[in-house]
Structures are given as C-alpha cells and as structure tokens.
A = this chain, B = another copy of it.
Amino acid sequence: MSCVLCHEPGGLLVAQTPLYRVVRVVDDNFPAFYRLIWQAHVAEFSDLDAAQRAECMEAVTAIERVLREALQPTKINLATLGNVVPHLHWHVIARFDWDSHFPNPIWGEEKRDVVGGAEARLALPLSDLDQRVRAALGA
C-alpha cells in the first residue's frame, strides 16, 4: 500500500497529537486552508469510534473558530472527500466573497482573478494564523 498521507505530512505541519495532525495547505487561491489528517490510515469518518469522531470534529471546530475570529470570512467550508487519497482528512477553508471561486466550491469553476493575490488580503500573516491554530488545538 502506498498512501501519500501515510508517508508525507500533506502540507505545512502546524500541530499534531497521537490521533491527528493539522497542516496548512499551500494554495495561492485559498491561503487560509487547513487540513486535519487522521494519523492512522482509515478511509471513512464512520471508521472512527464515537470518541474519536468527537475529538476529530472538536478539533475541526477549533480550527473553524480561529479562522472566523481572525479573518471574519464570508463562509467556512468543511469537507472530507478522499476520492483520490482515501485516508481520512478534513478540509477547513476560509472563503471570502472576493476569492477566486466564490460562491463556487473551491473545486468548481473559477469566477475571477484576485489582483495582488489572496494572501495579501488576509487580516494577518499566515504565520500568525498558524500560531493561533496551534494555540487553539493545544497541540
């Protein structure tokens, strides 16, 4: 078995516990994009037991709250798809009405160019955002 998320971080490592790690995804269009990756190789959310599901979603919620408070995004998008890499991971993405795809999903059609780049429009540097995410997770 060669699962990329069993062998690579899957993004810039921000925090981790024995059960999960949180990375920031490097995406020019969506700079405030975190991914919670379950450390063990399981494919589906329902492969977790109830306590693991709760811990997973409370961590997702903590990331969501940091993004909301720090960036005041138009919307938060949460998703676990895994069609290409069937190793449980949750996308947590701050969306803005000015972003390249809004209101389309990030996987949909691009709607506009963002002059100057998306990262420059965020209310704080990504390193500060990472620090806030790390602090919120206590990990």
- Report A's interface with B, CB cutoff 8 A: 43-46, 50, 53-54, 57-58, 60-61, 64-65, 68, 74-84, 86, 95, 102-105, 107-108
Please give me the 3 A-B residue pairs with the lowest Cβ-Cβ distance, nearest first. A83-B103, A79-B79, A105-B107
Asked if B77 and A95 make an inter-chain contact with CB atoms under 8 angstroms apart, the answer reads no
Given A43-B75, A61-B46, A83 and B95 touching (CB < 8 A)?
yes
> Looking at the complex, which one of B53, B75, B80, B107 makes contact with A108 (CB distance below 8 Å)?
B107
**Chain B residues with Cβ under 8 A from A82's Cβ?**
75, 77
Which residues of chain B come closer than 8 Å to A43, judged between CB atoms?
A: 75
Partner of A45, one of B46, B50, B64: B64
B64 and A53 form a contact (CB under 8 A): no
On chain B, the residues within 8 Å of A44 by CB distance are: 64, 68, 75-76
A61 touching B68 by the CB < 8 A rule?
Answer: no
Is A84 a contact partner of B108 (Cβ separation < 8 A)?
no
How far, in whole Å, are A77 and B74 apart by their CA atoms in the complex? 23
A61 touches B45 (CB 8 A): yes
- The interface centre, meaning the residue of A60, A65, A75 with most chain B CB atoms within 10 A of its CB, is A75
Decide: B81 and A80 in contact? CB cutoff 8 A: no
Of B60, B77, B86, B103, the residue contacting A75 (CB under 8 A) is: B86
